Amino acid sequence: MTYQDELDQLCINTLRTLAMDAVQKANSGHPGMPMGAAPMAYVLWTRFLKHNPTNPHWPDRDRFVLSAGHGSMLLYSLLHLTGYDLPLEELQNFRQWGSRTAGHPEYGLTPGVETTTGPLGQGFANGVGMAIAERFLAEYFNRPGHTIVDHYTYAIVSDGDLMEGVASEAASLAGHLGLGKLIYLYDDNHISIEGSTDLTFTEDVGRRFEAYGWHVQRVNDGNDLAAIAAAIEAAQAAKEQPSLIMIRTHIAYGSPGKQDTAAAHGAPLGEEEVRRTKENLGWPTEPSFYIPDEALTHFREAVEQGRTWEAEWQARFESYAAEYPQLADEWQTATNRQLPIGWDADLPDLVPADGPLATRQVSGQVLNAIAPYLPTLLGGSADLAPSNNTLLKQYDDITSDDFSGRNLHFGVREHAMGSIANGMALHGGLIPYTGTFLVFSDYMRPPIRLAAMMGLPVIFIFTHDCVWLGEDGPTHQPIEQLAALRAIPGLIVLRPADATETIEAWRVALTHRDGPVALALTRQKLPVLDRMELADVGEVAGGAYVLADAEDEQPDIILIATGSEVHLALEAREQLAEQGVKARVVSMPSWELFDRQPPTYRDQVLPPTVTVRLAIEAGVPQGWRHYVGPTGEVIGLDRFGASAPYKTLMEKFGFTAENVVSRALGLLGR
Ligand SMILES: Cc1ncc(C[n+]2csc(CCOP(=O)(O)OP(=O)(O)O)c2C)c(N)n1
């Protein structure tokens, strides 16, 4: 063995033993994966990964995603060893309250963690979004002789990742787009929780990925560093295809009793087995968390190297900024998650005579009005662009040969679309949006949840927002989806009532830069409300506002509605007035925004003294009790919809002004 070979082994065994020790100390976690994948991680992180441990946010760093997030100790060890701000004590506090070493990697908690992983397949698809972002930004910003965007996206993916459907969706799109700078290392250890992958996963993964258009290589020995390095080089050279390097590894490598067993997947090896494994690896059994000086020194070379890389990039950026000051400004604005001044200059101003208009149509107008001002606004739909009105009409499509367009076509892949959009947001520099029908938000729930958890500024456009989409019938009619989205902490859901509210909803979506927003938009046309007569729209950002009121007097009843049902409430209000009932109509496009307002504001909109309240929304009533109180009622839908023209449905389901009036009178005891 040469000195280098010995040093390599020392470093790799440091990764293995840190994982074993941390999991043992926490008495919980996943030691097997880090032990088997340590060599590939070592090669990638010490010979290829372009990163700067002292500035994890350097924009042109290579991205590294540990998609098999249960192997988190592998990542934490790499971060600590290469010099990120993650002291050894954090590794010793693995999985404990208040530590930065959570069970699975969490974005924003641990410096150097690029995305929250753990739900298998998500990291895989996030990486595809990062690679799309890199290519798009390179196309937009780079100039001859001035390359400021140029990096790889790497991931370690596991059997579980590749079994998940979302990975297949994302892989298919990545292959289609020819994302040559996407390089995935597959920890092919033949073991998952229930045992051998022979139980469920016997397809030829390599050929599957070849069929997707990926460049596929096989490394038969996961400890063969030279072979792994050669494969990464070959993957880099395959410039027009994403790469999968299938590396045959052994879970819990080095453990005499647990290697190649499912027992090593998600439980500590046990004190005795840890000792035997260390002996087997030629490692001192004491102390635990032992890091040999030579290993640390070698890993820490990343600090100086990283500083140099970033300094070189900074110099390149300065000469770029000197030559292209405008572009450099745009770059700064985009990467700081800011909006350029004047981005809203061309927002439409719509009046009743422009209507009736479906809110999805207005949303399309907004998108097209802001796109020229927001060059890094990038998104598309899962094959429903004509219905979702998500197309940027003045721009071309993104294709494998040409990333200068602005329209992404996700194909019928909602789940991956959400995860890819998250990856685009995580990469930074982009304002990502997606489009599909509201009912299919169910297909996107995992990434929406993660976007909320990570505080990502992704805009999820959902059209066909309730049963009134009509003839397509109950499979396409959302009933419980609004409630389900509202249940996600940190997600802002907006269901605007007309054109003006839609424009304001978009304003909220674009200025809300630290979390995701879901827009629920109608298929059917709605009148454009007369803002000369009704309240000004400025309060959409407040979540709810008084749209029409009982002039200067305490109302007898408050009608609260969202979206299309606001029009019903307005109609009912007029009919009630004829019967001497003073009704206030509150338009409530967003619960979440309303809940954030100070009590004084909320009490102005929903005065505690007015306890007779009726909420109207074409969806499950769940949650509305909170706003109507114990003496209020809800006109909602506790059943699935039906296939019929929407006006018929409105009548059959009791969404008529007459029914609202009669329910209101009932509540008032008249
Ligand atoms: C979506 C999702 N389903 C289930 C799990 C629970 N889980 C964690 S790891 C794993 C499979 C482990 O197999 P593999 O990916 O091969 O990891 P290894 O055993 O090699 O560590 C499962 C089912 C999860 N994390 N995410």
**pLDDT tens digits, 395-420:** 999 999 999 999 999 999 999 999 99
Mutational test site, ligand 1, from 192, 250, 445, max ligand atoms within 8 Å of CB: 192
- Amino acid identity for residue 226 in this structure: A
CA–CA dist 593, 377 (Å, integer): 24
What pLDDT is stored for residue 263 in this prediction?
96
**Which residues surround ligand 1 with Cβ inside 6 Å?**
30, 32-33, 68, 70, 118-120, 158-160, 187, 189, 191-193, 251, 265
pTM score: 0.98
- Amino acid identity for residue 624 in this structure: W
Q: What is the pLDDT of residues 61-71, one digit of tens each?
A: 999 999 999 99
**Exposure b/e, 433-452, CB count within 10 A at least 16 = b:** bbbbbbbbbebbbbbbbbbb
Count CB neighbours of 605 within 10 A. Answer: 21
- Amino acid identity for residue 208 in this structure: R
The closest residue, in CA terms, to atom 19 on ligand 1 is 192
Tell me what the mean pLDDT of segment 123-128 comes to.
99
Helix (H) or strand (E) holding 314: helix 293-323
Count CB neighbours of 235 within 10 A. Answer: 27
> Which of left, alpha, beta for 120 (phi over 0: left; psi -120 to 50: alpha)?
beta
Ligand 1 atom nearest the C-alpha of 161 is 15
CA of 69 relative to ligand 1 center, distance in Å:
9
Sign of the alpha-carbon torsion through 82, 86, 89, 92? negative
Which tokens is 225 given? 């560093």
Residues with a catalytic annotation lie at 414
Ligand 1 atom nearest the C-alpha of 71 is 21
Tell me whether strands 517-520 and 633-635 are parallel, antiparallel or unpaired: unpaired
Whether 279 contacts 272, CB under 8 Å:
no
CA of 236 relative to ligand 1 center, distance in Å:
28
Q: What is the pLDDT of residues 126-135, one digit of tens each?
A: 999 999 999 9
Ligand 1 atom nearest the C-alpha of 262 is 19
Count CB neighbours of 116 within 10 A. Answer: 25
The closest residue, in CA terms, to atom 15 on ligand 1 is 160
- What's the pLDDT band for 537 if we cut at 50, 70, 90? low
Beta strands in 323-374 (DSSP E): 357-358
Which tokens is 63 given? 């991205």
Whether 173 contacts 413, CB under 8 Å:
yes
CA of 192 relative to ligand 1 center, distance in Å:
6
Show the CA angle centred on residue 424, arms to residues 418 and 430, nearest 5°. Answer: 125
The closest residue, in CA terms, to atom 12 on ligand 1 is 192
Tell me what the mean pLDDT of segment 585-598 comes to.
98
Residue 326 neighbours by CB under 8 Å, 6+ apart: none
CA of 158 relative to ligand 1 center, distance in Å:
8
Q: What is the pLDDT of residues 331-351, one digit of tens each?
A: 999 999 999 999 999 999 999
Residue 527's SS3 state is: coil
What pLDDT is stored for residue 535 in this prediction?
75
What pLDDT is stored for residue 553 in this prediction?
84
CA of 53 relative to ligand 1 center, distance in Å:
29
Ligand 1 atom nearest the C-alpha of 122 is 1
Phi, psi angle pair for 635, to nearest 5°: -95, 105
Q: Is the pLDDT of residue 538 over 70?
A: no
**Exposure b/e, 388-404, CB count within 10 A at least 16 = b:** bbbbbeeeeebeeeebe
The closest residue, in CA terms, to atom 21 on ligand 1 is 33
Tell me what the mean pLDDT of segment 364-388 comes to.
98
Mean pLDDT taken over the chain: 97
CA of 117 relative to ligand 1 center, distance in Å:
11
Mutational test site, ligand 1, from 193, 196, 197, max ligand atoms within 8 Å of CB: 193
Ligand 1 atom nearest the C-alpha of 159 is 16
